[in-house]
Structure 1
Amino acid sequence: MHWRRFCAVYIIPAAIFQSVIIGGGYGTGREIVEYVTRFGPAGGLLAIAVIACLFVLVLSASFAFAVRFKVFNYRDFLKELLGPIWIIYEVLFVLLLVLVLAIVTSATTTLAETAFNIGMYQVWLFLSLAILGFTYFGRPIVKFALTIWTLLLMGFLVTLIVSMVSVKDILLLSNIGTIDWLGASISGMRFAIYNSALIPVLMYAASEIETTDQAVKSGVIAGLFGVLPALLLHVGFIGFYPEINQLPVPTYHLVEQSGIHFAVHIYFFILIGTILLTAVGVLQGVNDRIDSWLKEVRNFGLSNRARSCSSLGITIASLLLSQFGLINLIAKGYGALSWGFMVIFTLPLLTIGLKRLIIKEQKV
């Protein structure tokens, strides 16, 4: 397989999935503390194992379903999977979208004020203009930017963790102690479910996949790629456990303690990019859904200007919601939505979806 083809099938879907789920949680570390690290060194590893398994399962099933039924956009994928009740997913997704954007905005505002004394409204203006710019230029630049920024973030996290983690921290991971097996497992499941709920919106990333075999392999790679930052951050946070549980932006604390020259500035630069691409990646999927509907009804799609306007409206709503604070948004907002997505997306995909996929495969 040619290198470009390999990247399109296996690397880009993984990079886009990781970039979109990474903004408010991996970038700030708050989600990892809330759903992983608070269960302790070994309990956190259990949660990560559950997350990895569910990511791989849901991504592989989603990609395979999309390939076999040739549905590579948000609307077509959901209608094929859920039928007339797909509109329920729409409602939940709009709530999740606004929540995700609120979380990444809150994270950026918190970090900007803490580290650089930059005002909230300045951050809001910058984010709004940047999101408008990215959505105006459309899918090609989004795919490219998501891939590049994921590599930057991964490189930074690896460098940071390697520079800070000691043998003592690694040994802490093997110290089983008392593990809340049920709590850690459920927490990992909830984390995986609400993040997996974004997968239908990212179906455009799987458009280069041609076979079910490729889809499954791509899903495995994307799932493992998606959980890797959680593992890195958990290992890094162990040295500051349990105090790290109370911090709104735990990764910033990690950067401060690293002793790496200009690390805070590098982190802020990468986090801003990650947050922007989280927002843009999700909004790109929504715009594709609107574009598909318009082509069906009016025979022409969504203009670049209209894409920017729809994105701006959702962004403004998210900016207002971000005032509730990062910790509350992540702990309460994500937790509540995860159960809704499990019922309306995860369970149908892994039951009805897989059954239909198997039947379709047998007929080929």
Structure 2
Amino acid sequence: MPAISMFIMGLTLYYSMVIAAKFNVFDYSKWSIKVYGRTGAIMAPAYEILFNGVLVLATAVAFATGGSTLEKAIGTPYLLNTVVIAGVIFVLTIYGSALVRKAATVISLILIACIFIIYLPNIIYFFPKILHNFAALKSGAFDTGVHSSFVDTLWWGVKYGALQCCAVGAYIVHTKVCPDKSCLKKAAILGFLINTGIMYLTYFGIMAFLDEGVLKEAVPSLFVVMNGVGGTWMTVLITVCIVVGAVSTGVALVYGTTNRLTNFFGRNLDEAKRAEKRGFHSIIASIILVVICWLVAQLGLIPLIGKGYGSLGWVSMLVVTVPVVLRGLGLWKFSTEK
């Protein structure tokens, strides 16, 4: 259910940014207090715990995935790979939102291009096989290890979309660049269309190798390339794509919390002193976050992360998605609107 997941994510992100622009709150702590209103004493800390927990887990997964991919593709040590990825994320984070946005734009374009280059040839070449595997899957000929009804599949799609909504705290800071509601709406619609398209490309690309055990692979996309159309150069391309994606994930999530911690560190300083110390505080915050995420990846907690994501999905739905959408639709009015 990629479309369902991306719709939930897009709608929540759109309303989150609308709220941020409306009340001029671009720090996720202040934003959450505004969103939760009278329930903020309980819900705002709950969101902070949820957001930072997902930040650590998601960034650790990014480190581990990028490190493992490089290790398998070019043979460099996993530890070295994750250190390099951590260093890149750290540098991009401490240079502020302008560089982060610029990097995110370039990275997004690279990823979109890579996805199309990698999956379209495989989908076209293996299209008859995709149809065969799809029919076999529906008939129950393949044992994927998951026996789900339509309702179960829909529920997982909803949970996955809700899980992604945890990251809104990292993205609302970028609302400063696009505070206009019509601009935010265009961004949300375009993001939904692109993300949904990419998800379906990935789905059909993987479907071509369903009968070869692709779902048991740690990195299915790498399996598709190594066993599909393209050969060596495609393997290089998917490696770049995965590593760039790991950096993109880390930068987006770490920067959002770095901004929050920087404000926290300077909370007792006057305006001039806070501005003077902001660069230093940003470096300290980035180091703390990157090191924690890197350590989680090294400690072998990635399997636990995978198991925890399902539970975090419905928690995020209750803590983030439902309140934000209710606020956005006007079903839960702000105190100033009553």
Greater mean alpha carbon deviation, residues 326-335 or residues 126-135: 326-335
2:294 matched to which residue of 1?
319
Residues 304 and 271 of structure 1: is their aligned pair in 2 closer, same or farther, counting only changes over 3 Å? farther
- Corresponding residue pairs, total: 317
Query: Which position in structure 2 is the counterpart of 1:177?
Result: 138
Which of 123, 128, 145 in structure 2 is aligned with 1:168?
A: 128
Match of 1:196 in 2: 165
Structure 1 counterpart SS, 2:154 = helix
Paired residues for 1:328-347 under 5 Å = 328-347=303-322
Is the CA contact (8 Å cut-off) linking 1:142 and 1:277 kept in structure 2?
no
Equivalent position to 2:218, from 248, 267, 271 = 248
| 1:184-333 to 2 correspondences below 5 Å | 184-242=153-211, 243-257=213-227, 258-298=229-269, 299=271, 300-301=274-275, 303-323=278-298, 328-333=303-308
Q: Distance in 2 between matches of 1:189 and 1:150?
A: 24
Pairs within 5 Å for 1:148-159: 148-159=106-117
Further displaced range: 324-333 or 227-236: 324-333
Check conservation: 1:57, 1:219, Cα contact below 8 A.
Answer: yes
The corresponding residue for 2:143 is none
Structure 2 gaps of 5+ residues are 140-147
User: Aligned equivalents of 2:223 and 2:16: distance in 1?
Assistant: 36
Amino acid at match of 1:251: S
Q: What CA distance in whole angstroms lies between the structure 1 residues aligned with 2:79 and 2:73?
A: 16
**Cα contact 1:65–1:357 (8 A) shared by 2:** no
Q: Once superposed, what is the RMSD of the aligned Cα atoms?
A: 2.7
Distance 1:150 1:210, change over 3 A: closer
- Give the SS at the match of 2:138: coil
Counterpart in 1 of 2:325? 350
Structure-1 separation of matches of 2:313 and 2:138? 29
SS in 2 for 1:262: helix
User: Which residue is equivalent to 1:3?
Assistant: none
Q: Whose Rg is larger?
A: 2
Indicate how the Cα distance of structure 1 residues 114 and 314 shifts in structure 2: closer, same or farther if over 3 A, else same. same
Name the CA distance, whole Å, in 1 between partners of 2:251 and 2:175: 17
Q: Is the 8 A contact 2:129 2:208 kept in 1?
A: yes
TM-score (norm 2): 0.84
Q: Which deviates more from structure 2 when the two are superposed, residues 162-171 or residues 275-284?
A: 162-171
- Alignment-derived partner of residue 64 in structure 1: 18
The residue aligned with 1:128 is 86
Counterpart code for 1:272: V
Question: For 1:356 and 1:292, how far apart are their aligned partners in 2?
Answer: 32
Percentage identity across aligned positions? Answer: 21
2: CA distance between counterparts of 1:326 and 1:229? 28
Matched-pair contact (CA < 8 Å) for 1:55–1:224? no
Show the counterpart of 1:100: 58
State how far apart, in whole Å, the 2-side matches of 1:338 and 1:129 are: 30
Amino acid at match of 2:138: G
How many Å separate the matches in 1 of 2:300 and 2:265?
36
| Partner amino acid, structure 1, of 2:294 | L
Return the alpha-carbon distance in structure 1 between the equivalents of residues 28 and 172 of structure 2. 6
Alignment gaps of 5+ in structure 1: 1-46
3-state SS, counterpart of residue 297 of structure 1: coil
Where do 1:67-146 residues align within 5 Å?
Answer: 67-82=21-36, 83-85=40-42, 86-146=44-104
User: How much does 1:148 deviate?
Assistant: 0.6
Distance 2:4 2:205 in 1: 19
CA distance in 2: counterparts of 1:224 and 1:308, whole angstroms = 36
Structure 1 residue 262 displacement after superposition: 1.8
Structure 1 match to 2:142: none
**Does structure 1 residue 55 correspond to structure 2 residue 9?**
yes
Say whether the 8 Å CA contact 2:94–2:283 is kept in structure 1: yes
- Normalised TM-score (structure 1): 0.78
Aligned partners of 2:214 and 2:220 also within 8 Å: yes
Contact 1:172–1:238, Cα closer than 8 Å, also in 2: no
Give how far 1:215 is off.
2.9
Change over 3 Å in CA distance of 1:265–1:326 after alignment to 2: farther
Q: CA deviation at 1:296?
A: 4.4
Distance 1:169 1:240 in 2: 8
Task: Note the 1:31-42 alignment, pairs <5 A.
Answer: none
